[in-house]
Structure 1
Amino acid sequence: MAIRSRTPSSGGSQSMFKKRSTQSLSPTMASAASYLSAVSQADARARTARSPTPTPTATPALSFASTTSSEPTTDIDELDEDDEKFISPLSVPFRPPTSEQVFNTVHTEFGHCASEEFRLTSAHKPGAPIHGHVDKDPPYYILLSTYISYLVLICLGHMRDFLGKRFHPKAYRHLMPHDGYASLNSDFDSFYTRRLKVRMDECFAQPVTGVAGRTIVLLDRVSLDYNRTQVPTGNKTRALNISSYNYLGFAQARGGCADVVEEAIKRYGISTCGSRLEGGTSELHTVAEELVARFVGAEDALISSMGFATNSTIIPALVGKGCLVISDELNHSSIRFGVRQSGAHVRMFRHNDMRSLESLLREVISQGQPKTHRPWKKIMLIVEGLYSMEGTMVNLPAIMNLKESYKFYLFVDEAHSIGAIGPNGRGIADYFGIDPRSIDILMGTFTKSFGAAGGYIAGKKDVIDRLRVKGYSGTYAEAMSIPLLSQVIASMASIMGVTTPTVSSSNSSSTIAIRSHAANGNGHLTDDEYHHPGPVSSKILPSWMTLPPELSSGEEGRTRLRRLAFNSFYLHRGLDKLGFITYGHPASPIVPLILFNPGKMMMFHRMMKDREVPIVVVVVAYPATPLITTRVRFCVSASHTKEDIDCVLRACDEIGDIMDLKHGLAPADRWSIDEICDRAVELVSLPEA
């Protein structure tokens, strides 16, 4: 059912995480569990082929029996790894087959886990402290060796440049003036790329195929010229994927959402007609914008075809000359680009430091505009709900208190927090229990939790109406394509749940009633009232869009949210207890593990990928992070099982000892890896320090 790292002496059971073979699976299985797994997969195909109505491919109410069926089966030789519902036999208990216990999801895309112990609600506990970002320093010898490694790199690199330009000028032609032309690149500006990144390109831009779900298939490659070029070997490796932003696991090739996308393509086609104002707007655009507004609890929303463009084209429509933007120092580059384009004055405060923010607010309000000291036309604070490199969460309650006192506008970028945190998956405001209408602008993307692409801006209706006219993305950008729109609608409705018009949509005593115009299945607008947070009326969705019961009820969406919360807490606190230095909030699905020395990046990446159970990770270094805080960034998903996180922790424990990475807790305060795995539920339930 799940994966676990093993030593060679642990037996010869097969795993789906292995080098790809061109032969079919052998009918001679290594264990009773693996045999039963293959029988179940063949049986599911046979029953699907015989059934007049296909079995829904989205995970229903989950149970542990992912390997069982009592009905007749087809020949096991017909199993194919590309169409794989194969269950890793590691740690799968042998149980008698029962016909009621059959999973419909592909286990390689979304892990089967039925235990309610491995669930957690993502919500801030009243009275719990809200900590800002805290840099954790390693021992001095780690910092010293890191600086020395950079010093050696710089000295040797410039020496090679000096000698190379004289003895191998053809290799440095792009860095030297020639034939009356200036050099294409500056040798100083490109030094980091040429002398460090190229040597570590094995870690980056790995070619993959298939769905980036619980597992992913890598196209193996080698380099014979120090990573200047990469040569495919023709082999494939299926690895545990702990590197994708697939937070809720909706990036699936099969399932209820995939069926909706397929139906949308049949009805509308796959492309758009151009920009929104040139005929690209369809019924689905109206439905998607209405659904997004209800999902986040705003009056109206505007969608864009690209997340980066959402910030960079909308911010100039919100502020301009004579306005002030106060920005967190670790805000995303799309925010920085948008602010520069706007012409507004910008000031930054220390990351998530409320004292620094309040001090800056007092200064800028009292001093006014530079030179003239006139009052600012507008002051807008821009922060992120969840910071992608640090894993930290904005202190929204403190910011709301400052907003009440200093009267500024608030722009929250929820690219990573929307759909990933909060008891209802509604983002940072949901996590802290704050009215989303008190936030002036809510921005988010569809590329993470919703398994699509694009972004949105939500807020008051008069503001959104103005942005439709003044924002560049609405006038000049391409409209979102039909497959993306249908994926967004289906996944978002799966999180919210869908009710019939006769059923009350209020599910909480603290709901927000939003009166708005809703698009029905024919594209006509009708008055409707929605209570936030809660399920959406079926009148909003297109009449042809039918979700399986497990998705339309919202049950699977809630399960995915709770699985993600458990996995995030478990991995974060497990790494802490092993003694690693990590950053971020334990509720964050982004878990940075600090390596410090850049030379350890490729070693960590290679040792994780070369294990018996390969694991794919993302390593990040300068300039995306400060020079000495090189890190590996784990991205947790609801598609991971508890055993998957066990596997990652065991791998980190072994590699951390080899590479000397455990500089967090003192040895006396650490837990053993077996203790962490056995006491996972207790570990996740520990109160915040």
Structure 2
Amino acid sequence: MNGLIHKTNGVHKNGKSHKTMYTEETDWRKDYWESFEETPLLAAVFTYICYGLVVLIGHIRDFLNDLGLLKVNACLEPRIPGFVPLFSTWESFYTRHVFRRVSDVLSIPVCGVPAARVEIMKRVTHNYGWSYELHKDERSTMLNFGSYNYLGFSQNKGPCYDAAKSVTHKYGITPCASRQEMGLLDIHAELDSLVAEFLGVEAAFTVPMGFATNSMNMPCLVSKGCLILSDELNHASLVLGSRLTGATIKTFKHNNMQSLEKRLKDAVINGQPRTHRPWKKILIVVEGVYSMEGSIICLPEIIRLKKKYKAYVYLDEAHSVGAMGPHGRGVVDYFGLDPKDIDVMMGTFTKSFGAAGGYIGGTKKLINHLKLTSHCSVYSPTMPPPVVQQVLSSMKIILGKDGTNDGQRRIKQLAWNCRYFRRNLHERGYIIYGNKDSPVVPLLLFMPTKLAAFSRECRKRDLATVVVGFPATPITKTRARFCLSAAHTKEDIDEALKIIEEVGDLIRLRYSRLPVPDFNENDIELIR
């Protein structure tokens, strides 16, 4: 990368490369780095062999089923003469023979508040994962390292709970109307104002669903004749929203400013295909924290390129607002930048605020335009009042408007937890992705068999986490994803580390051969 972010290749004593990124001669984050260790060759080979065997066995089972020699316990599409298949053949095959083998670790019934510890309900399948029988009386309490409860506001007691309960009695559970048709209550207007104050922008607009905040509002901003430059790892809501705009979409390599600048140069020099007319708008679409990689966007470089090439920036802060920055205001706060340099600031309330819905912040002209034209404003009912109050209460705590320092305590605790947990995993020899300040910590597993084994063995030891495999990740980068929370204590993290170490030794996950990244010796103590 060029500009503020530089990529270096440190060399370990065994001669192997250690890829990190850091800043040089900057005033915004001298110790910024991200770790992305390459997949070991042997692990990649075994991963492909593993997937190959599963696919081969699946085809053999289908062949024997066609001959009537084997009954496949699956929902097979009836072959009606003269009709084409209704759904994709490969999707059906993958679901039946690959996904279903690990379905018990990909959807776990939770029956309690997603706090530091969570209640899990036992379930049993009698038909190889196609249906489950819940045992409501058999529950177990586990350490929760899989929820987006970054600041620990998802609670069933405390000031947020009391305020939401009071508002439920006053307003009910829903306005039963859209923003433009008698659905806008006074607390919705209060939330819009508070979000704008929190972000440091002129105005804000709230939406009842986080996914729809992207997918339904992006078509109001760009259209045919415009260009969207999208990070290749952007969330599905951004991908869908971009496609619905009708604009031309081009991707650039993840968090790679050289790739982005190349796309921008080409767009400015060559213009639109065939006609070579200038693009009406160029919109750079990125996320603050990437939920599968744990990486933080190089926002100072994004802003520099935006100004250089006269483009616009759409920033999705779903996983960063509340969880990043000394004041919990996201990556803009983390880098100490001016919020007005971001044209469209989007985020959700479903993570750090323990609620639901999303927001878009920006200039008054932008927000008024969205209020008039967005499908979320015209067709969707507004946010339920209890949810609105949950956001109001938690945001006021973060801002310190409740008269306490509880908000700052939660922000500092999360920052400490992130560095402490990540550093300990690095020291134990696991391949960890992402930035050291990110609340999302991916641990590479590689093989699909280890994906299932890791989740099952962790649950046996009362640790609940999320595992993710192909096609949600590249085929050789199956991973476990840990999400840190301010609700976690040091004892909780130490217990989780002990369990991960036991399971890691059992299924052999210590793939890293590189030195521990260069943390500042006082990092953890200073944050604490």
TM-score of the superposed pair, with normalisation by structure 1: 0.70
One-letter code of the match for 1:684?
Answer: I
Shift of 1:554: 4.1
- Out of 392, 417, 440, the residue aligned to residue 590 of structure 1 is 440
SS state at 1:637 partner: coil
- Out of 633, 653, 657, the residue aligned to residue 505 of structure 2 is 657
One-letter code of the match for 1:139?
Answer: P
C-alpha separation in 1, matches of 2:487 and 2:349: 18
C-alpha separation in 1, matches of 2:229 and 2:489: 40
Shift of 1:226: 2.1
Aligned to 1:3: none
Q: How many residues align?
A: 499
Q: Is the 8 A contact 2:55 2:98 kept in 1?
A: no
Aligned to 2:428: 578
Aligned to 1:302: 205
Superposed counterparts of 1:426-441, under 5 Å: 426-441=329-344
- Out of 130, 133, 151, the residue aligned to residue 231 of structure 1 is 133
Shift of 1:128: 1.2
Shift of 1:585: 0.6
Q: Is 1:128 the counterpart of 2:30 in the alignment?
A: yes
CA gap 1:590/1:127 in 2 versus in 1, 3 angstroms: closer
Shift of 1:169: 7.6
- Out of 473, 477, 482, the residue aligned to residue 629 of structure 1 is 477
Shift of 1:397: 0.9
Aligned to 1:640: 488
Shift of 1:172: 6.5
Aligned to 1:497: 400
Say which is worse superposed, 407-416 or 222-231, in terms of deviation.
222-231
C-alpha separation in 2, matches of 1:171 and 1:252: 41
C-alpha separation in 2, matches of 1:126 and 1:588: 16
Q: Is the 8 A contact 1:570 1:683 kept in 2?
A: no
Query: Residue by residue, what CA displacement relative to the aligned partner does 1:401-442 show, whole Å, maximum 9, x if unpaired?
Result: 112211111110000000111000000100000011111110
CA gap 1:567/1:280 in 2 versus in 1, 3 angstroms: same
Query: Residue by residue, what CA displacement relative to the aligned partner does 1:515-553 show, whole Å, maximum 9, x if unpaired?
Result: xxxxxxxxxxxxxxxxxxxxxxxxxxxxxxxxxxxxx12
Query: Residue by residue, what CA displacement relative to the aligned partner does 1:463-488 show, whole Å, maximum 9, x if unpaired?
Result: 11011111111101121001110101
Aligned to 1:351: 254
C-alpha separation in 2, matches of 1:433 and 1:598: 41
Q: Is the 8 A contact 1:317 1:467 kept in 2?
A: yes
Aligned to 1:209: 111
Q: Is the 8 A contact 2:39 2:476 kept in 1?
A: no
CA gap 1:171/1:250 in 2 versus in 1, 3 angstroms: closer
Aligned to 1:153: 54
Q: Is the 8 A contact 2:225 2:279 kept in 1?
A: yes
SS state at 1:308 partner: helix
SS state at 1:632 partner: strand
C-alpha separation in 2, matches of 1:186 and 1:247: 37
SS state at 1:189 partner: helix
Q: Is the 8 A contact 1:622 1:630 kept in 2?
A: yes
Aligned to 2:88: 186
Q: Is the 8 A contact 1:305 1:455 kept in 2?
A: yes
SS state at 2:267 partner: helix
User: Structure 2 stretches of 5 or more lacking a match?
Assistant: 1-25
SS state at 1:276 partner: coil
CA gap 1:657/1:682 in 2 versus in 1, 3 angstroms: farther
CA gap 1:262/1:137 in 2 versus in 1, 3 angstroms: same
Aligned to 1:119: none
Shift of 1:376: 0.6
Q: Is 1:558 the counterpart of 2:408 in the alignment?
A: yes
Shift of 1:340: 0.7
C-alpha separation in 2, matches of 1:451 and 1:142: 38
C-alpha separation in 1, matches of 2:78 and 2:166: 56
CA gap 1:166/1:175 in 2 versus in 1, 3 angstroms: farther
One-letter code of the match for 1:596?
Answer: F
Shift of 1:231: 2.0
- Out of 429, 450, 467, the residue aligned to residue 600 of structure 1 is 450
CA gap 1:670/1:136 in 2 versus in 1, 3 angstroms: closer
- Out of 131, 140, 143, the residue aligned to residue 44 of structure 2 is 143
One-letter code of the match for 2:422?
Answer: H
One-letter code of the match for 2:524?
Answer: V
CA gap 1:372/1:582 in 2 versus in 1, 3 angstroms: same
Shift of 1:681: 8.5
One-letter code of the match for 2:182?
Answer: G
C-alpha separation in 1, matches of 2:459 and 2:512: 25
Shift of 1:655: 1.5
Q: Is the 8 A contact 1:495 1:554 kept in 2?
A: no
One-letter code of the match for 1:329?
Answer: E
One-letter code of the match for 1:654?
Answer: E
One-letter code of the match for 1:606?
Answer: R
- Out of 359, 367, 378, the residue aligned to residue 270 of structure 2 is 367
One-letter code of the match for 2:37?
Answer: K
One-letter code of the match for 1:494?
Answer: I
Query: Residue by residue, what CA displacement relative to the aligned partner does 1:281-306 show, whole Å, maximum 9, x if unpaired?
Result: 10011000000000011100000010
Shift of 1:224: 3.0
Aligned to 2:3: none
Q: Is the 8 A contact 2:73 2:128 kept in 1?
A: no
Q: Is the 8 A contact 2:74 2:96 kept in 1?
A: no
Aligned to 2:238: 335
Shift of 1:153: 1.1
Shift of 1:670: 6.9
C-alpha separation in 2, matches of 1:319 and 1:285: 27
Shift of 1:654: 1.7
Shift of 1:138: 3.8
CA gap 1:486/1:670 in 2 versus in 1, 3 angstroms: closer
Q: Is the 8 A contact 1:421 1:427 kept in 2?
A: yes
C-alpha separation in 1, matches of 2:317 and 2:488: 23
Shift of 1:228: 2.1
C-alpha separation in 2, matches of 1:159 and 1:629: 27
C-alpha separation in 2, matches of 1:470 and 1:172: 45
One-letter code of the match for 1:212?
Answer: P
Q: Is the 8 A contact 2:322 2:352 kept in 1?
A: yes
Q: Is the 8 A contact 1:326 1:379 kept in 2?
A: yes
Shift of 1:175: 2.9
Aligned to 2:9: none
- Out of 83, 86, 102, the residue aligned to residue 200 of structure 1 is 102
Aligned to 2:303: 400
Q: Is the 8 A contact 1:411 1:439 kept in 2?
A: yes
CA gap 1:664/1:339 in 2 versus in 1, 3 angstroms: same
Superposed counterparts of 1:7-406, under 5 Å: 126=28, 128-131=30-33, 135-167=36-68, 174-178=76-80, 182-233=84-135, 234-406=137-309
Aligned to 2:324: 421
Query: Residue by residue, what CA displacement relative to the aligned partner does 1:10-65 show, whole Å, maximum 9, x if unpaired?
Result: xxxxxxxxxxxxxxxxxxxxxxxxxxxxxxxxxxxxxxxxxxxxxxxxxxxxxxxx
Q: Is the 8 A contact 2:160 2:393 kept in 1?
A: yes
One-letter code of the match for 2:399?
Answer: M
One-letter code of the match for 1:649?
Answer: L
One-letter code of the match for 1:473?
Answer: C
Identity percentage over the alignment? 43
Q: Is the 8 A contact 1:450 1:488 kept in 2?
A: yes
Larger Rg: 1 or 2?
Answer: 1
Query: Residue by residue, what CA displacement relative to the aligned partner does 1:192-235 show, whole Å, maximum 9, x if unpaired?
Result: 21111111111122111121111111111122332222222330
Aligned to 1:512: none
Shift of 1:684: 2.9
Q: Is the 8 A contact 1:422 1:428 kept in 2?
A: yes
Aligned to 2:524: 684
C-alpha separation in 2, matches of 1:273 and 1:686: 49
Q: Is the 8 A contact 1:174 1:183 kept in 2?
A: no
C-alpha separation in 1, matches of 2:390 and 2:526: 37
C-alpha separation in 2, matches of 1:358 and 1:685: 38
Query: Residue by residue, what CA displacement relative to the aligned partner does 1:57-76 show, whole Å, maximum 9, x if unpaired?
Result: xxxxxxxxxxxxxxxxxxxx
